[in-house]
Amino acid sequence: MSIELILGGARSGKSRLAETRAAASGAPVVVIATAEALDGEMAERIRRHRAERPAGWRTVEAPRALAAALRAEAAPERWLIVDCLTLWLANLLDGAERLPPGADADALPQLKAERDALLAALPTLPGHVVLVANEVGLGLVPDTPLGRLFRDEAGRLNQRVAALADTVTFVAAGLPLALKGG
């Protein structure tokens, strides 16, 4: 059993790295996708991603119940790719715009429950789990409270997953940089 976190910016090559490592393993692969097709452009992105994956890989949609999907799909000798934690977090921030100023995401019961379930499940899963996430803390400070909450919660989530991970890799311009392990 191992946990790997791959971080990077948008279009940095992080998903490609996860897929390359999984393909090289020769093991069965399940992609746990967190994106939702809420508009035509996102539907096309999802379609394109599915078409680019090897034919034998399965895709499981888990826009919110990620821990349950991981527990259902994890198995010895199987690779799970979660793509991506950042979209999953965004899905769970529904209602955050109504939080009082300065509140954190723990005030959102579904987000707290799902995040805590994920963090509890990860160390117990058999097989190899690769989690892909955006590093959103390298840019400008968002100009809205919701944007700042998202950035802060994404950073906190990445830190907590990195602490559990055996390997953490940062990807920029398609080039991987080992941060932990590996």
Q: Catalytic residue numbers?
A: 49
105 is in an annotated binding site: no
181 is in an annotated binding site: no
2 is in an annotated binding site: no
112 is in an annotated binding site: no
50 is in an annotated binding site: yes
137 is in an annotated binding site: no
Cβ–Cβ under 8 Å, residues 108 and 93: yes
83 is in an annotated binding site: yes
8 is in an annotated binding site: yes
Residue stretches of the annotated binding site: 8-15, 33-35, 50-53, 61, 83
Residue stretches of the annotated binding site for GTP: 8-15, 33-35, 50-53, 61, 83
